[in-house]
Amino acid sequence: MDQMALSWAGMLVVIILVVLGMPIAFVTALVGLVGTIILRGFAPAGTVVGGVPWSETANYPLIVIPFFIMMVYFASYARITTDLYWAARSWFGHLPGGLAIATTWGTALWSAISGSSTATAAVMGRLAVPEMLKYGYDRRLATGCVAAGAAMDALIPPSVVMIIYGIFTETSIGQLLIAGFIPGFMEAFSFALLIYVMAKRNPALAPPGPRSTWGQRFGAIFLSGNWAFLIIFALVFGGIYSGWFTPTEAGGIGAFLTLLTALALRRLSWRNLVDSLQDTGRITVMLFAIIAGVLVFMHFLGFTGFTKTMTEAILGLDVPPLVILIGFLLIYLLLGMFMDAIGMMALTLPLFHPIAQALGFNDIWFGILVVKMIEIGLITPPVGLNVYVMKGTVPQVPTHEIFRGTMPFLAVQVANTVLILLVPGIVLWLPSTMFGK
């Protein structure tokens, strides 16, 4: 079989099997193995499958993944989320749409120590949606703002999606994490502004909540969980930004500080500690299995010459580079309707990233654009994972209502993506000021 035909067949099989619900780790590994056997024979294929996953994943920098996942679980049991939400509510709750605005900012702050969008959707859904419904909020707005807000977790560091992008493309993880700050909090601001405008135009959507006294507002800032958040945030990401330590070291420090916080606040039982470690191990194994499977598949594509051939073909098109980039983003938008984040990156980055480099696009900027499109995919039908997490959290709200509730936020996300596309400095300025970058 022609090598290019074989590579296209492999891509098609992966897409079909992943869309049908088979695990991306096993699909990519199996297709990569079979394809390599056809091309090179059993012995070279065995070398690839036996050696590549170990050589590529047994790297010290990858320890950052379990550390940041561990931070999420320890912080959740320390109830830092609750303290952040109540502080935001005390300041914004009396405004039109105030509870939803508080939820958006609480979610953005929580995302700064959480690396999982779906975990954020579950935590904030349980905490904020019942409160909004109690005050007469429209169900679509209440659930939509949480599902869309949780998607910010893919952009605001520590982001597991961003780390995996860095692994696949060999891009600086530290610069990627720092680059996500401005776009992430810009999105939080635009979501809050959208909610305010919607509630101002139609007060029935989101009635104002109770007004807190100034004493209550300042008191909420000094809740123990908020102080813990500020310390962890400052040390972990201040350390990365200043060059004091690497992202891997920052992850270890963050996990340790979050554990100390949960113990100091007496909010972590022995059972919760065991559960946190087990959940961290389970998710870490899943992610590393995906990374290993994808790397086997990428080696198969490398053997076929697929990446080189397609890169030359696309670069030979008589169109401006920006048109090619927009075409890539539209493909991500389409794939996001059917696939999860890692699946999209596994299928596209072996081709898209070399082309983006050849066209002269900055790796960090391109990475943030990819993560933005993945973020949009978390709330687009029919496979918006955050929407289904919200459905599990608030079963009384139909799935189609949650999807409808995310649509205004989806429009804002698209507008923010266009702004980043036109003004790369939004992404690149902060990493350019890092020490020891």
**DSSP string of 318-345, one letter each residue:** SS-HHHHHHHHHHHHHHHTTTS-HHHHH
- Which carries the bigger pLDDT value, residue 176 or residue 220? 176
> Residue 159 pLDDT more than 70?
yes
Indicate the pTM of the whole model.
0.84
3 class by beta-carbon count within 10 Å (0-12 exposed, 13-18 middle, 19+ buried): middle
pLDDT bucket at 211, cuts 50 / 70 / 90? confident
Euclidean distance between CA atoms 171 and 363, whole angstroms: 7
- Which carries the bigger pLDDT value, residue 326 or residue 229? 326
> Residue 377 pLDDT more than 90?
no
pLDDT at 202: 92
pLDDT at 197: 94
pLDDT digits (tens, 9 = 90+) for 220-259: 777 767 787 888 888 888 888 888 888 888 888 888 988 8
Euclidean distance between CA atoms 157 and 65, whole angstroms: 12
400 class by beta-carbon count within 10 Å (0-12 exposed, 13-18 middle, 19+ buried): exposed
Range list of H helices, 20-116: 24-40, 42-57, 64-77, 80-92, 98-111
Contacts 24+ apart (CB under 8 A), 55-59: 56/291, 56/292, 56/295, 57/288, 57/291, 57/292, 57/295
pLDDT at 125: 84
pLDDT bucket at 437, cuts 50 / 70 / 90? low
pLDDT bucket at 115, cuts 50 / 70 / 90? low
Q: Which of 115, 153, 160, 183 lies closest to 417, judged by CA?
A: 183
Q: Which of 431, 284, 301, 287 lies closest to 353, judged by CA?
A: 301
% of the chain with per-residue pLDDT over 70: 98
pLDDT bucket at 436, cuts 50 / 70 / 90? low
Which residues, other chains included, contact 285 with Cβ-Cβ below 8 Å and sequence gap of 6+? Answer: none
> Residue 172 pLDDT more than 70?
yes
Assigned token pair, 191: 């979501």
Which residues, other chains included, contact 391 with Cβ-Cβ below 8 Å and sequence gap of 6+? Answer: 397, 399, 402
